[in-house]
């Protein structure tokens, strides 16, 4: 093969794949040619260098804007010298000339570069292990800290835990998924930068989701380190047998392990381990709030932001996890007479079968509350939480750090979407269906179930059925029950229990890109669940992407406002933006919150955020009737 017949290769941003594939291609199709160079790893060289009669071509970065790689022939190279070249290239060149590189206590990490919304270059390290793979004997067990590695860890691929759910009818993801992503502005990638850290816990009803659901492109225009984590979800993360066999909350314990990783390693990426703010949306918001009650999380974070969920939400804590564990086991052909045998059997089943059977639960048919979610564990030093959050709040037994919580103005649109095939049934069988829909039949005396249903219908719908004419009243009902009541109650109780400030907001801003379309809503009914995250994160997994200049002037203004309050809160626990004085919630006062609306952003006060007094008048034992778990090994 002549030198002038070698093709000049154009390298993309991440040249590794192109050059490796080229090396394999040339080695396969040209018996006398082997290519080594930038991005080629040891495995490729081992394969390619096997034949003795190969000419050697070295790929070197060329000059110019596109960094073309130019192949040039090298003569008289012995195999021993070639091996030395291979080692040299692996140590010095496989990272790529422009790739970000960090050395941690665990080992060396290679990332790649991305661009922020504002055009700033930032380093992305995607797929760093923080725990051992939770597979085989480690399934359903507490996470085990990741071990150090040799060589260079290629952190350029994000991970997804096994999941099935809304919009995901067939299983995706891998059980080996306990990885996290770290993002930092390129000019701040230094262990002396000491930037505030924002750690994101994704939502998804404890059943779906991964770190990519909240992209960093907006946040990377500010000087922070952003961490997004995976944790086990569905039955793999939240199965509980209510005893010592599987106490539950593995997903939350994964989060604790990730927070420990941040304490030990984030300084290497320019982060300040003494300034960590945990942030979450929906189920992630519940997780954030639950960390305030866990002794395992003490000292691992310093502020928290919950968007669209709190630990007092009626969907936050599973009241009958053993029943769900038995149902799942039976559906997979496992015996359920002993929790030990039940778990032993489930450990032998394919992960994708477990999460598929976990999602298609009879409870999903009634109403899509998560069949597997956080639980109150039996008392044990290793328990994430061993008492009900309400009781812990009332007693003041919480981590005393600032908390910011909020919700959208029409959260209940989500519930109506989930009920879209059951509205007729709800109207026809209100007394029977409503207790399931509102998840209250287990907290009221059986003799009062129907009476409560009648009172709710009278209060919200004036005795009418749900129709287009009173759809806003139905949205108000579901917003109150599932989001606004617990926001009001949680904020007041935490303001009373803690010395640190508590801030709340209601997001009523109608932005250009709303989440209504995800809920199948063709007419605008309000600001739906999760919309308050859309101008803080880029949401590629939901079909929301960005390009510079696409946001309207109004959206741009609200985005900057959100970035201001989140980054200032992460800095010193006070949400600050130009022209806004955000007053904290006070227990004995009117409920004070920041109202974010199209017309203006202003402080607002109400006697009650939701219809608190009406719900207090109902004979519901929401918190007083907390179900305690069993201490038995046998069922």
Asked if 80 and 198 sit in the same domain, the reply is: no
pLDDT tens column, 234-285: 999 999 999 999 999 999 999 999 999 999 999 999 999 999 999 999 999 9
pLDDT above 70 as % of the chain: 78
- What's this model's pTM, rounded to 2 decimal places? 0.83
Q: Is residue 63 included in any domain, yes or no?
A: yes
Q: When comparing pLDDT for 596 and 70, which is higher?
A: 596
Asked if 69 and 194 sit in the same domain, the reply is: no
Listing DSSP states for 99-148 in one string gives --EEE-SS-EEE-EEEE-TTS-EEEEEEEEE-B----GGGTTS---BPPP
Catalytic residue among 38, 175, 411, 608: 411
Q: Which residues pair with 101 in a beta bridge?
A: 110
pLDDT score of 193 more than 80 = yes
Residue 423: band (very low, low, confident or very high) from pLDDT cuts 50, 70, 90: confident
Last residue of a domain, one of 62, 92, 122: 92
CB atoms under 10 Å from CB of 198, counted, come to 27
Q: When comparing pLDDT for 74 and 199, which is higher?
A: 199
Catalytic residue among 529, 531, 577, 611: 529
Look up the CATH number of the domain holding residue 317: 3.40.50.1820
Asked if 84 and 136 sit in the same domain, the reply is: no
Chain centroid to CA 195: how far? 21
pLDDT above 90 as % of the chain: 63
Asked about 529 being catalytic, the answer comes back as yes
Task: For residues 311-323, give the mean pLDDT.
Answer: 93
| C-alpha span between 409 and 48 (Å, rounded) | 61
Residue 83: band (very low, low, confident or very high) from pLDDT cuts 50, 70, 90: very low
CB atoms under 10 Å from CB of 400, counted, come to 12
CB atoms under 10 Å from CB of 628, counted, come to 12
Catalytic residue among 282, 306, 361, 373: 282
Q: Count structural domains, the chain.
A: 2
| C-alpha span between 135 and 552 (Å, rounded) | 46
Asked if 258 and 309 sit in the same domain, the reply is: yes
User: Which structural domain range is residue 192 located in?
Assistant: 110-416+498-635
Q: Are 416 and 460 in contact (CB under 8 A)?
A: no
pLDDT tens column, 24-66: 333 433 444 444 444 433 333 333 333 344 444 444 444 443 3
| C-alpha span between 478 and 485 (Å, rounded) | 10
Q: Are 476 and 460 in contact (CB under 8 A)?
A: yes
pLDDT tens column, 569-606: 999 999 999 888 899 998 777 899 999 998 789 999 98
| C-alpha span between 132 and 257 (Å, rounded) | 11
Asked about 411 being catalytic, the answer comes back as yes
Q: Are 126 and 77 in contact (CB under 8 A)?
A: no
pLDDT of residue 483: 95
Q: Are 177 and 217 in contact (CB under 8 A)?
A: no
| C-alpha span between 34 and 36 (Å, rounded) | 7
Q: Are 561 and 406 in contact (CB under 8 A)?
A: no
pLDDT tens column, 385-404: 999 999 999 999 999 999 99
Asked if 324 and 407 sit in the same domain, the reply is: yes
Asked if 26 and 155 sit in the same domain, the reply is: no
Asked about 94 being catalytic, the answer comes back as no
3-state helix, strand, coil split of the chain in percent (to 5) is 35, 20, 45
pLDDT tens column, 139-192: 999 999 999 999 999 999 999 999 998 778 889 999 999 999 999 999 999 989
pLDDT score of 81 more than 50 = no
pLDDT of residue 35: 44
Last residue of a domain, one of 48, 66, 92: 92
Burial class (CB in 10 A: 0-12, 13-18, 19+), 491: buried
pLDDT tens column, 100-119: 999 999 999 999 999 999 99
Highest mean pLDDT among 235-239, 368-372, 553-557: 235-239
């Amino acid at each position: 093969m002549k030198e002038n017949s070698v093709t000049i290769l154009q390298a993309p941003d991440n040249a590794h794949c192109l050059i490796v594939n080229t090396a394999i291609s040339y080695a396969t199709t040209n018996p006398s040619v082997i290519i080594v160079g930038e991005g080629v790893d040891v495995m490729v060289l081992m394969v390619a260098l096997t034949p003795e009669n190969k000419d050697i071509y070295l790929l070197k970065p060329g000059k110019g804007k596109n960094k073309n790689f130019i192949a040039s022939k090298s003569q008289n190279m012995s195999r021993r010298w070639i091996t030395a070249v291979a080692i040299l290239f692996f140590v010095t060149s496989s990272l790529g000339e422009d790739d970000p590189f960090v050395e941690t206590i665990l080992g060396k990490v290679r990332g790649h570069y991305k661009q922020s919304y504002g055009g700033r270059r930032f380093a992305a390290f995607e797929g760093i292990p923080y725990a051992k793979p939770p597979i085989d004997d480690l399934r359903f067990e507490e996470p085990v800290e990741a071990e150090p590695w040799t060589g260079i860890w290629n952190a350029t691929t994000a991970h997804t835990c096994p999941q099935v759910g809304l919009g995901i009818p067939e299983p995706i993801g891998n059980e080996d998924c306990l990885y996290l992503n770290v993002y930092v502005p390129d000019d701040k990638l230094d262990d002396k930068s000491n930037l505030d850290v924002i750690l994101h816990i994704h939502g998804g009803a404890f059943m779906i989701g991964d770190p990519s659901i909240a992209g960093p492109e907006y946040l990377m225009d500010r000087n922070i380190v952003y961490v997004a984590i995976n944790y086990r979800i569905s039955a793999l993360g939240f199965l509980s047998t209510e005893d010592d066999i599987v106490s539950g909350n593995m997903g939350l314990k994964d989060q604790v392990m990730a927070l420990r990783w941040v304490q030990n390693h984030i300084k290497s990426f320019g982060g300040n381990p003494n300034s960590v703010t945990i942030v979450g949306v929906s189920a992630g918001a519940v997780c954030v709030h639950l960390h305030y009650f866990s002794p395992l999380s003490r000292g691992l974070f310093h502020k928290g932001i919950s968007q669209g969920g709190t630990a007092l939400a009626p969907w936050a804590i599973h009241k009958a996890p053993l029943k769900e564990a038995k149902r799942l086991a039976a559906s997979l052909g496992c015996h359920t007479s002993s929790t030990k045998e039940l778990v032993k059997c489930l450990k032998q089943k394919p992960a994708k079968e477990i999460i598929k059977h976990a999602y298609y639960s009879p409870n999903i048919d009634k109403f899509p509350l998560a069949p597997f979610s956080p639980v109150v564990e039996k008392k044990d030093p290793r328990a994430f939480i061993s008492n009900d959050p309400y009781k812990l709040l009332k007693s003041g037994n919480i981590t005393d750090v600032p908390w910011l919580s909020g919700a959208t103005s029409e959260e209940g649109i989500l519930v109506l979407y989930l009920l879209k095939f059951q509205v007729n049934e709800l109207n026809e069988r209100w007394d029977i269906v409503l207790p399931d829909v509102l998840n209250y039949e287990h907290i009221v005396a059986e003799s009062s179930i129907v009476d409560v249903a009648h009172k709710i219908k009278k209060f919200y719908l004036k005795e009418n059925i749900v129709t287009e004419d009173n759809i806003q009243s139905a949205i108000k009902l579901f917003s109150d029950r599932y989001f606004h009541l617990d926001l009001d109650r949680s904020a007041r109780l935490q303001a009373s229990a803690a010395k640190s400030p508590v801030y709340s907001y209601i997001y009523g801003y109608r932005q250009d890109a709303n989440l209504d379309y995800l809920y199948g809503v063709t007419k605008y009914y309000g600001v739906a669940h999760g919309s308050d995250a859309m101008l803080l994160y880029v949401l590629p997994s939901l079909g929301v992407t960005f390009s510079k200049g696409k946001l309207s002037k109004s959206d741009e203004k609200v985005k900057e406002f959100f970035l201001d309050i989140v980054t200032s809160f992460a800095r010193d626990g006070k949400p600050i933006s130009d022209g806004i004085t955000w007053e904290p919630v006070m227990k004995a006062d009117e409920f004070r919150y920041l109202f974010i609306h199209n017309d203006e952003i202003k402080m607002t006060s109400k006697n009650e955020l939701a219809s608190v007094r009406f719900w207090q008048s109902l004979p519901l034992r929401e918190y007083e009737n907390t179900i305690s778990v069993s201490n038995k090994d046998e069922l």
